[in-house]
Structure 1
Amino acid sequence: MTIDDLRFHYRADHATILNIPHWQLASGEQVFLHGPSGTGKSTLLNLIAGVLLPSQGRIEILGNNTAQLSSRQRDTLRAKHIGVVFQQFNLIPFLSAVDNIKLAGHFAGNKNTTTRAKALLAALGLAESDQHRATGRLSIGQQQRIAIARALINQPELLIVDEPTSALDKKNADKFMGLLMEQLSEGDTALIFVSHDPRLAKPFDRVESLLDINRAEVAL
């Protein structure tokens, strides 16, 4: 992934939120990106994922300039090649763990994902008896495991993790980090992990502050 001359503002008459001359992430590289709340971290992730488009500049994902893709093409790129672990996990509470994960596979055009979904959940320590329960009836720790498995089901080249431990105590936050890094220990999935909590940066060789790469005078 490469970012060049990126600028973003929500409207032409609004201040620039992001001004990033250059930023790059290699295949398999894992970066911890931190910064205080309100500095544009989530906005940057939405730009990388193609949910938002740059006001200026270029974001290239797997050889694709996202600004040159149609909305449908960006959706396909995101579904097939980008995994996302959301801050609140965003699981569908009345669906089972397996069905939540299979739904992500469906959107990427992968129809036969049941076996892989169960294997991921088993590797993440979710008991088979819980894999078919409604996720809304499971604990936060169990939902963590499902969220990781859902993000990894399509074997994405890029994984985006957005403040997933903000509502967790230290013990559960540490468990989440251990599970995530264990799943990424093999393979070439690149990781952008965004948090305001520097305690979570320990497993990362590359740690950067958004305030250092963002030259905008006014942040979100």
Structure 2
Amino acid sequence: MLLSIKDLRFHYPGDSKVVLDIPQWCLSAGEQVFLHGPSGAGKSTFLKLLAGLLVPSGGSITMLGQPLQALRSGQRDKWRARHIGFVFQQFNLVPYLSGRDNIRLAAHFGGKGDVDAAATALLTSLGLDEKLHRKPAAELSIGQQQRVAIARALINQPELLIVDEPTSALDAKNRDLFMALLGEQLAENNTALIFVSHDLSLANGISRVESLQDINQAGRVN
């Protein structure tokens, strides 16, 4: 089992309202899950907990046998860099760094050494011409930025890839291209996926589709 959740509860400091109450949830190695729910359902909070950016108020999140809540803040940062890739909604690339340097930065935080050859191979496999590898991210098109974002998330060969609403700002062509590129890379690396979106049309090809509201007991009316 790659990821296991048991009796997870979370509320923000100073607020007694429970945002998440998940008795049990798990994810196997290489498994792909599409997680959906309306705005305000707690999707972003859930992802931050899985990534170790937030700590549960109760219960446990265990990944690769490691209880994340047992790690100190700096340890969680290192764990996340080494084992979890993240593709953000707005990609969050460092605008003045080249695509290759954005990837180098992620590799540095993951404790990797020289990744130039791996970064070049990954970007090329994603269809980004080599002459664009050294171009500042701010000067790349949206489609080119999304390739860099995928490569950055995968450079440390993470066991888990988390993708958070990455297509909301994309037109239909770039959205479909993003999904195709993502699927190819997941298959090649046997990486598990948690794909979060409100757009159910993006769930095509992902075998496990769940609503956060179905697994989260917080706020339910009996």
What does residue 50 of structure 2 align with?
Answer: 48
Secondary structure of 1:193's aligned partner: strand
> Are 1:8 and 2:10 counterparts?
yes
**Aligned 1:1-220 pairs, distance under 5 A:** 1-11=3-13, 13-217=15-219
Offset of residue 168 of structure 1: 1.0
Return the alpha-carbon distance in structure 1 between the equivalents of residues 9 and 175 of structure 2: 33
Which digits, 9 at most, give the CA deviation of each residue in 1:86-116, with x for residues without a partner? 1110001111010000110011110110100
Secondary structure of 1:156's aligned partner: coil
Which digits, 9 at most, give the CA deviation of each residue in 1:153-209, with x for residues without a partner? 000001100000011122211111001001111233111000000010001011101
> Structure 2: any 5+ residue segments left out of the alignment?
none
Return the alpha-carbon distance in structure 2 between the equivalents of residues 5 and 99 of structure 1: 40
Return the alpha-carbon distance in structure 1 between the equivalents of residues 117 and 54 of structure 2: 34
Say whether the 8 Å CA contact 2:157–2:189 is kept in structure 1: no
> Structure 1: any 5+ residue segments left out of the alignment?
none
Which digits, 9 at most, give the CA deviation of each residue in 1:68-91, with x for residues without a partner? 111111111101110000111000
Offset of residue 65 of structure 1: 0.6
User: Which letter does structure 2 place at the counterpart of 1:18?
Assistant: L
Secondary structure of 1:3's aligned partner: strand
What is the alpha-carbon root mean square deviation over aligned residues? 1.0
Percent identity at matched positions?
A: 63
